[in-house]
Amino acid sequence: MSVIVAAGTHVLCRELYHREQQQLLSGGGGIYSSSVQRRYLWVDPRNGGHRNKIVRKEFRAGAFWSDLARPEAIEMEPIDDCDQLDQALQRANELSQPILIDWMAAWCRKCIYLKPKLEKLAAEYDKKIKVYFVDVNKVPRTLVKRGNISKMPTIQIWKDGEMKAEVIGGHKAWLVIEEVREMIEKFI
């Protein structure tokens, strides 16, 4: 039995065609099974003669897709002033769920690099948590003081109207995302 791993249905079809010299699979999903008989001819160097052998090969190919109903990334919503923060906290309170706030700056390379990773994380926790961002250079200082921000990027989780935990992301992005994931799991 052969196992073929392919990135998409077109690659899977091409691999099956080249390996088994069969017709291309249709582009739809599902499973394709076949049993193929081939005649092989080879030279056996020990005996110096030709040998014929009929080989029966069986293969099964499966096509698997991720959940298409769930988005791959969810764009973070901006918070521009204290009133928007209060509204976000009130909505979260009504839904009994926390919010995640990424305090960042447009000039901060680590912040910029982290943003798409946080948007993918937001898709993982789509119905459980809402994710926002605050550009500290474009908001009033009162909002930055309310978040008690001293370094960037700072990712905070807020629940019941107050900040519960934070991760200061000055190190590798994958480590920050893992710390944020652990923080989210504590409060959902």
Catalytic residues: 108, 111
Distance in angstroms (rounded) separating the CA atoms of residues 145 and 139: 11
Contact 35, 58 (CB under 8 A): yes
The sheet carrying 130-135 orders its strands as: 77-78, 130-135, 99-104, 154-159, 162-168
Q: Which element (helix H / strand E) includes 158?
A: strand 154-159
Q: What is the DSSP letter of 47?
A: T
**Longest C-alpha distance within the chain, in Å?**
89
Q: What is the DSSP letter of 46?
A: T
Q: Which among 94, 88, 108 is positioned nearest to 158, based on CA atoms?
A: 88
Distance in angstroms (rounded) separating the CA atoms of residues 14 and 17: 5
Which two structure tokens, joined as six digits, stand for 43? 């030279």
